[in-house]
Amino acid sequence: MTMKNKTFRLMVLVVSGLMLQGCIPKVAIKKADAPLPAAFEPGVLETTNTATVMRKDFFDDPALLDLLDIAVANNKEINIMLQRITIAQNEIQRRRGEYLPFVGIRAGAGGDKVGEFTRKGALEEHLPLAGHAFPTFLGDFRFELFSTWEVDIWKRLRNARQVAVLEYMASKEGQNFLVTNLVADVAHSYYELLALDNHLENLEQNIRIQENALEMVKQLLLYARTTALAVRRYEAEVAKNKSNIYKIKQDITVVENRINFLLGRTPQPIQRASSGFMEQNPKVLMTGIPSQLLQNRPDIKQAELELSAAELNIKVARANFFPSFSINAAVGFEAFAVKYLFNSPQSLAAAVAGELVAPLVNRYAIRAEYKNASARQIQAAYEYEQSIINAYVEVANQISNIDKLKKNYELKTSQVEALVQSIDVANQLFKSARTDYLDVLLTQRDTLDAKQDLIETQQKKFDAMVDLYRSLGGGWQDEPMTDAQKSYLSALSEEAGEKMDENLSKTEAAKKIDELSVKLVED
């Protein structure tokens, strides 16, 4: 008879679960689909990818490398992100504790007096206690060990913990993406600073040339070979260019302060090497194949992990439709007076109970959360696709930009060379009274503008190099893993039955250690 009762109860539980499952609404799940072309440029297939180059090997300016190291270590946004990562890591431990039994200790004290003309009061009145009547005010003292445990039948809690793991890994990729952008921002500002220094030097050279021309015009005025108008026009031109010096110096101050902000420190002079800027050539970058963006771009990897977390969250929300089973147990001492509390076995008390809870009526909140989980999964899939397309477009734009800037720079160089030569020609013609002073003045002005444009184009070339490096997913890679990491990772890999990659960086090794640790705990 006992076996029949157990079988009947099991059948009731199974049927109830099936009935509840039939009431679960159907929701959509989107599979991400963003196919990439085989190459960035038709007919050009590169396998080498510059993104895998660490920043210390990519940038060859020692002053810039020092700034980048300070920024990555001290930037406030990076440090804020590190705390978010710590929170995500702690969330894993919190959710792990939810599906493990909780054991605690508790003590309590209380008392009550029941009415005499009640069933309980009447019983106490006529029930002697060791030859004595029940006390009027009956105490209740207890000291016990208790445990609560929700049996994770439908893997709701374990899936929720895995969601926390994926969100933690996504936050780590978010940090890498932040580092990539930080490196690019510091490099952009640094090259802008070099360009401003060259703008200032070029302007000062032009002022010296115009001051010499002004002296020449003044001498010609003494011999009545020109007019006072020429002198005044040259004086106005010199004054205008001298006023521009202060504008450039202010721009330099602003850029220096911007770099200091990125470095997480108060304003101070920025050490830099401005000489030779115009003779430098940006590095030639190898773009690799588009599919490598999926491995190198932290934002794509972050979106992929968030998509996986969103898919698991659907399972977590779905499990809320099924019954939950929990077990509560306690063992300890209980008595109506403290002096009897630890009398054994008279005061020894124990309790155990199982509880099955299933939602039957008014499940709108559960349905809404289930549908929201589906909507968030579809949203995450679109965001993943968008991040892939955005990465490809960024790289394609920078490839085209670098090619156009190279041709632009070559033509502007020819323009500057021709204008520099024309200044000497114009001066000779002016001295021999074969041209007007305005021709000399306009030639000098055109030369100054052309040189400024050339410096700006050189800056844009370096900016395009940095942007392509960022678009490929470079800049966040750090030093190779330490010997301690290598030893620990080797032991974890062996225990998990996996082959260890010897070429991981510090960041990648730390992430792999986290992954293997989680895997081994779950196994």
C-alpha 473/C-alpha 55 separation (Å) is: 11
Does residue 423 contact residue 443 with C-beta atoms inside 8 Å?
yes
Q: Residue 227 carries which DSSP code?
A: -
According to the model, what pLDDT value does residue 133 have?
63
Instruction: Work out whether the CA dihedral 18, 21, 26, 30 comes out positive or negative.
Output: negative
According to the model, what pLDDT value does residue 237 have?
85
- Please check the confidence at residue 461 and state whether its pLDDT lies above 60: yes
- Please check the confidence at residue 136 and state whether its pLDDT lies above 50: yes
**220: pLDDT confidence band, cut at 50, 70 and 90?**
confident
- Please check the confidence at residue 156 and state whether its pLDDT lies above 50: yes
Determine what percent of the chain is predicted with pLDDT higher than 90: 33
Give 221-233 pLDDT, tens digit per residue: 776 767 788 788 8
Mean pLDDT, range 61-88, rounded to an integer: 90
Of 58-67, 122-131, 260-269, which gets the smallest average pLDDT? 122-131
Partners of 110 in the beta sheet?
140
Mean pLDDT, range 491-497, rounded to an integer: 79
351 contact partners, CB below 8 Å, separation of at least 6: 328, 329, 330, 331
- Please check the confidence at residue 1 and state whether its pLDDT lies above 50: no
**204: pLDDT confidence band, cut at 50, 70 and 90?**
very high
According to the model, what pLDDT value does residue 261 have?
96
According to the model, what pLDDT value does residue 54 have?
86
71 contact partners, CB below 8 Å, separation of at least 6: 182, 183, 186, 262, 263, 264
DSSP sequence for 433-447 = TSS-HHHHHHHHHHH
Give 84-116 pLDDT, tens digit per residue: 888 888 888 888 888 788 889 999 888 888 777
Of 192-201, 208-217, 390-399, which gets the smallest average pLDDT? 208-217
C-alpha 498/C-alpha 491 separation (Å) is: 10
439 contact partners, CB below 8 Å, separation of at least 6: 426, 429, 430
Instruction: Work out whether the CA dihedral 237, 238, 243, 245 comes out positive or negative.
Output: positive
Sheet with strand 348-357: strands edge to edge? 102-112, 138-151, 324-335, 348-357
C-alpha 179/C-alpha 161 separation (Å) is: 27
Calculate the alpha carbon distances from 66 to 62, 141, 278, 350 in Å.
Answer: 6, 67, 22, 67
- Please check the confidence at residue 2 and state whether its pLDDT lies above 80: no
Q: Residue 505 carries which DSSP code?
A: B
Q: What is the average pLDDT score of the chain?
A: 84
Mean pLDDT, range 425-452, rounded to an integer: 78
Which tokens is 207 given? 């002022």
**255: pLDDT confidence band, cut at 50, 70 and 90?**
very high
**201: pLDDT confidence band, cut at 50, 70 and 90?**
very high
Give 387-436 pLDDT, tens digit per residue: 999 999 999 999 999 999 999 999 999 999 998 888 778 777 766 666 66
Q: Which residues of 382-405 are buried (b: 16+ CB within 10 A; e: fewer)?
A: ebbbebbeebbebbbebbebbeeb
**321: pLDDT confidence band, cut at 50, 70 and 90?**
confident
**479: pLDDT confidence band, cut at 50, 70 and 90?**
low
Mean pLDDT, range 16-29, rounded to an integer: 67
C-alpha 381/C-alpha 386 separation (Å) is: 9
C-alpha 410/C-alpha 331 separation (Å) is: 87
H-run or E-run covering 464? helix 437-471
According to the model, what pLDDT value does residue 521 have?
61
Give 383-393 pLDDT, tens digit per residue: 999 999 999 99
Tell me the range of 74-78, 346-350, 404-408, 514-518 where mean pLDDT is highest.
404-408
C-alpha 68/C-alpha 272 separation (Å) is: 13
According to the model, what pLDDT value does residue 357 have?
84
**217: pLDDT confidence band, cut at 50, 70 and 90?**
confident
**Smallest Cα–Cα separation from 181: which of 55, 305, 329, 42?**
55
Supply angle C-alpha 305, 306, 310, rounded to 5: 120
According to the model, what pLDDT value does residue 439 have?
75
**Smallest Cα–Cα separation from 195: which of 454, 1, 388, 11?**
454
Tell me the range of 52-66, 188-202, 347-361 where mean pLDDT is highest.
188-202
- Please check the confidence at residue 478 and state whether its pLDDT lies above 60: yes
C-alpha 462/C-alpha 198 separation (Å) is: 14
Determine what percent of the chain is predicted with pLDDT higher than 70: 87
